[in-house]
Amino acid sequence: MSKPVGREPLRRNARSNRARILATAREELGRNPDITLEELARAAGVVRRTLFGHFPGRAALVEALAEEAAETLRNTVEAGSEPGESAERALARCVLRMWPVGDRYRMLLALTRRDLGAGRLAEVLEPAREAATGILERGQRDGVFHSHLPPAVQSASLMALIVALVESVNTGALEDDGHRIATATLIAAGVPEDRASAVVEEVASAMATALPAGDA
């Protein structure tokens, strides 16, 4: 049976509208968390009916952004550390890799907690917590991280610290490109301040060098 003429272009148009709405929401909600869906529709260049066809309410829109953020974060942390890399360098790399994701979705921290609940925010951050827990287990065995807390508990506390620092960037209380947050995370894990700063700079430099031309 042949496909109805015009159905695929309509599907492509629907996917394009949905992607444009989400991209606009990321930007506009960062500027005004209380923006209405009608205002978002105008900013995205779609009619109200189109937006509500994809997202019947504010919670549905925030949930779509949360799922997008979770998937992006999951793909980021799955990249893992470099072969043979020390735990302190691996933790610095993990935070520096997460930073662009956190920077892109900063507004979601407060919105997800407010509109979907703290439990949903915890689910979004779970891939990062799991990755950090593995690194912390290795670092505790190697003696480079303090061991007075179990790795899973230490990981949860570090995620809370990172979230608080990212929210400080969101409010303008802190300016950062990820380096200060990565350094603070290493210090909280038990690495001396001078060593933490040096490790972050080394890893950041290596990551910048490894970027393809035009991506730096």
pLDDT tens digits, residue range 105-119? 877 877 888 888 888
pLDDT tens digits, residue range 142-182? 999 999 999 999 999 999 998 888 888 878 898 998 999 99
Which of 56, 85, 100 is where one domain is finished?
A: 56
> Within this chain, do residues 48 and 116 fall inside the same structural domain, yes or no?
no
Q: Do the domain assignments include residue 216?
A: no
> What pLDDT score does 216 carry?
45
Q: Do the domain assignments include residue 67?
A: yes
Please provide the average confidence, as pLDDT, over all residues in the chain.
87
> Within this chain, do residues 47 and 89 fall inside the same structural domain, yes or no?
no
> What pLDDT score does 195 carry?
97
Q: Which domain holds residue 142?
A: 58-210
> Within this chain, do residues 109 and 205 fall inside the same structural domain, yes or no?
yes
Q: Tokens in use for 113?
A: 């907690």
> What pLDDT score does 8 carry?
63
Reduced DSSP (H G I as helix, E B as strand, rest coil) percent helix, strand, coil of the chain, to 5: 75, 0, 25
Query: pLDDT confidence of 214, banded at 50, 70, 90?
Result: very low
> Within this chain, do residues 29 and 14 fall inside the same structural domain, yes or no?
yes
Q: What percent of the chain has pLDDT over 90?
A: 50
> Within this chain, do residues 66 and 162 fall inside the same structural domain, yes or no?
yes
215 or 47: which leads in pLDDT: 47
> What pLDDT score does 96 carry?
93
Q: Residue 3 pLDDT > 60, yes or no?
A: no
> Within this chain, do residues 84 and 144 fall inside the same structural domain, yes or no?
yes
Query: pLDDT confidence of 4, banded at 50, 70, 90?
Result: low
> What pLDDT score does 180 carry?
94
> Within this chain, do residues 176 and 97 fall inside the same structural domain, yes or no?
yes
pTM: 0.80
80 or 94: which leads in pLDDT: 94
Q: Do the domain assignments include residue 63?
A: yes
CA neighbor of 166 nearest in space, from 90, 82, 69: 69
> Within this chain, do residues 82 and 173 fall inside the same structural domain, yes or no?
yes
| Rounded Cα–Cα distance for residues 69 and 108 (Å) | 8
pLDDT tens digits, residue range 9-47? 657 788 888 999 999 998 888 788 888 999 999 999 999
CATH number of the domain within which 174 lies: 1.10.357.10
CATH number of the domain within which 16 lies: 1.10.10
Q: Tokens in use for 189?
A: 């894990």
Q: Tokens in use for 138?
A: 């290795």
Q: Do the domain assignments include residue 133?
A: yes
- The stretch 205-215 carries a mean pLDDT of 71
> Within this chain, do residues 70 and 18 fall inside the same structural domain, yes or no?
no
> Within this chain, do residues 8 and 46 fall inside the same structural domain, yes or no?
yes
Q: Do the domain assignments include residue 215?
A: no
Count how many domains the chain has: 2
> What pLDDT score does 212 carry?
58
CB 176 within 8 A of CB 200: no
Phi-psi region of 2 (alpha: psi -120 to 50; beta: other; left: phi over 0): beta
> What pLDDT score does 78 carry?
79
> What pLDDT score does 90 carry?
94
